[in-house]
Amino acid sequence: MNHDAIATALCGRYVKLAEGSGYLESNWTFPGDGTLIGAYIVAADAGRIRVTDDGDIVFNAAVAGARLTRDRASRYRALAEDFGLTLGDDGVISATCSPDELPFAVARYVQAASAIAHASLKHRPRDNERFERIIGTLLEAQFGKRIVRRPEVVGISGHQLRFPFGLDLDGQSPALIQTISADDNQTSWKSVYEAGGKFGDIRPARPGLRLIAVLESAKDTEKAGRYFADAADVVVYDGGALALAA
The count of domains in the chain is 2
Q: Is there a single domain that holds both residue 42 and residue 18?
A: yes
Q: Is there a single domain that holds both residue 40 and residue 70?
A: yes
| Among 99, 123, 147, residue at a domain's last position | 123
Contact (Cβ atoms closer than 8 angstroms) between residue 72 and residue 57: no
Which string of b and e fits 63-91 if b means at least 16 CB within 10 Å? Answer: ebebeeeeebeebbbebbeebebebeeeb
Look over the chain and give the mean of its residue pLDDT values, rounded to a whole number.
Answer: 87
Tell me if the pTM is above 0.75.
no
Is residue 32 domain-resident? yes
Q: What's residue 170's pLDDT?
A: 87
pLDDT in tens, 118-153: 888 777 766 677 888 889 999 999 999 999 999 999
Q: Is there a single domain that holds both residue 151 and residue 112?
A: no
Domain that holds residue 165: 127-237
- The residue-averaged pLDDT of 103-122 equals 88
